[in-house]
Amino acid sequence: MNILGIETSCDETAAAVVADGTMVLSSIVASQVEVHYPYGGVVPELAARKHIEVIAPVVDSALRKAGMSPRGIDAVAVTQGPGLVGALLVGFCFAKALAYDLDIPWVGVDHLDGHIQSIFLQTPSPPFPFVALLASGGHTNIYHVTSHTHSRCMGQTLDDAAGEAFDKVAKILGLGYPGGGAVSRLADSGDSSKIHFPRSYLGKDAFNFSFSGVKTAVNRYIQKHPEVLPDGIADVAAAFQEAVVDVLTDKVIRAAKKTGCGHIALVGGVSANSRFRERVGKAAGRHGMTVYAPPVDLCGDNAAMIAAAGYRYLSGSGAVSGALDADVFPRSPLRGEI
């Protein structure tokens, strides 16, 4: 089954063709970084306008790269939420109209589930049950995943998401937006032991996260020690990254132990971070657990993960198409309760 995935929840216009929920035939991601860069963050109205401009060419190039005409597509999967409503609506309406025109089923996908399902776009993929840590710009959630269609949220951030903390620290350090990649590249050449930033564990058995404290600590440190810039900037980045990675690693390992899972999936934009992968890999090894992460280009927002999730919904529900009057949702039921 060839599924065309479409993703426009935030500042990336993405389309992909995935065969049988696992084989990526094409994945196109058109970033809007240059549109939002001057504002230091995503401007919702501008995001929606840019999606409108590029959605048709992006879908077209995903089909061409997959060597497929629209008639070769069996179904369309599109992000229904969570995200910016104006941005979501562009992909959502486009997908419904395309499916209607081609007379094929379409399905709305939860973006967070898309990130979880991205772990099946590579081999080997984890067997069920496993624990997934979704760390991105909008979320830091731990899930106990028992099947393609069932996952329980065990914990989430109470304030900033991990990626958001990276972005804010990048801003404090003058590295621009979005800054996760820039902070981690800088951290590679820094010494994390020179500065100690606080780790917030929220109690011994807690699975929720809080990253606003460490971000504030970095800000305060820079104000108190302006001389650290520019020469000591790499040490600040490394010390910050280590504080975040310590907490993420501790919680995901404890979640796996608590649920008796021997398999851990790291998904979302922050899972592109090599120090994070390395630390969880080492800790998991000590406990006889196995760690999985998508290829780096499928960690951040993309449409292949949406197609993969759509495949599971459609193959599990007998290819029932979505209703044409369905609407997008700004918040996800997969977020869990605080």
Report the interface residues with Zn ion, using CB under 5 A.
Answer: 136, 301
Least distance (Å) from Zn ion to the CB of residue 301?
A: 4
Residue from the set 21, 82, 178, 322 that interacts with ligand KG4 by CB under 6 A: 178
Are the CB atoms for 139 and 112 separated by under 8 Å? yes
* 180 scored as a contact of ligand KG4 (CB under 6 A): yes
Angle at 281 between CA 280 and CA 285, to 5 degrees: 115
Are the CB atoms for 21 and 297 separated by under 8 Å? no
* 273 scored as a contact of ligand KG4 (CB under 6 A): yes
- Cβ distance to Zn ion smaller for residue 136 or 332: 136
Q: Who's near 328: CB < 8 A, 6+ residues apart?
A: 80, 81, 83, 85, 88, 89, 92, 108
The owner of tokens 């992460």 is 293
Cα–Cα distance between 68 and 39 in angstroms, integer?
38
Q: Which stretch binds ligand KG4 (CB under 6 A): 47-55, 136-144, 230-238, 277-285?
A: 136-144
Give the contact letters, 230-249, x = binds to ligand KG4 (CB under 6 A), - = no. Answer: --------------------
Are the CB atoms for 53 and 93 separated by under 8 Å? no
Contact partner at residue 180 from ligand KG4, Zn ion, none, CB < 5 to 8 Å by partner kind: ligand KG4
Are the CB atoms for 16 and 68 separated by under 8 Å? no
Cα–Cα distance between 167 and 2 in angstroms, integer?
36
- Cβ distance to ligand KG4 smaller for residue 80 or 184: 184
Residue from the set 27, 79, 184, 332 that interacts with ligand KG4 by CB under 6 A: 184
- Cβ distance to ligand KG4 smaller for residue 110 or 129: 110
- Please list the residues that pair with 24 across neighbouring strands: 18
Are the CB atoms for 105 and 133 separated by under 8 Å? no
Least distance (Å) from ligand KG4 to the CB of residue 337?
A: 20
* 179 scored as a contact of ligand KG4 (CB under 6 A): yes
- Cβ distance to ligand KG4 smaller for residue 243 or 272: 272
Q: Which residues bind ligand KG4 (CB under 6 A)?
A: 136-138, 163-164, 166-167, 178-181, 184, 268-270, 272-273, 300-301
